[in-house]
Amino acid sequence: MTTMGSRRDFLEKLSISAIGLPILYSPAKLFAASSEPYEGPVLRVAIMGLGSYGTRVAKAMESCKRAKLVGLISGTPSKVVDWRAKYDIPEKNCYNYSNFDAIKNNPDIDAVYVITPNGLHKDQVIRVAKAGKHVICEKPMGINAKEGQEMVDTCKAANVKLLVGYRMHFEPKTVEVIKMRKNGDFGELKFFQGLSGFVIGDPTQWRLNKQLAGGGAMMDIGIYSINGARYMLGEEPIWVTAQETKTDPIKFKEGVDETIQFQMGFPSGAVASCLSTYAMRHLDRFFLSGDKGFVEMKPSTGYGPIEGRTHKGELTQPHITHQTLQMDGMAQLIFEGIQPIVPVDGEEGLKDLKIIDAIYKAVKTGKKVDL
Residues that are catalytic: 139, 224
Task: State the amino acid at position 290 in one-letter form.
Answer: G
What stretches of 105-161 adopt beta strand conformation (E)?
111-114, 134-137
Evaluate whether 163 touches 344 at the Cβ level (below 8 Å). Answer: yes
The rounded distance, in Å, linking the Cα atoms of 72 and 87 is 10
Q: Mapped to the 3 state alphabet, what secondary structure does 22-71 carry? A: CCECCHHHHHHHCCCCCCCCCEEEEEECCCHHHHHHHHHHCCCCCEEEEE
Evaluate whether 114 touches 125 at the Cβ level (below 8 Å). Answer: yes
**Exposed/middle/buried for 283, CB within 10 Å: 0-12, 13-18, 19+?**
buried
The crossing angle, in degrees rounded to 10, of helices 52-61 and 322-336 is: 70
CA angle, 26 as apex, 38 and 223 as ends, to 5°?
115
Q: What secondary structure letter does DSSP report for 284?
A: E
The pairing of beta strand 271-277 with beta strand 43-48:
unpaired
Q: Is the dihedral of CA 293, 167, 53, 243 positive or negative?
A: negative
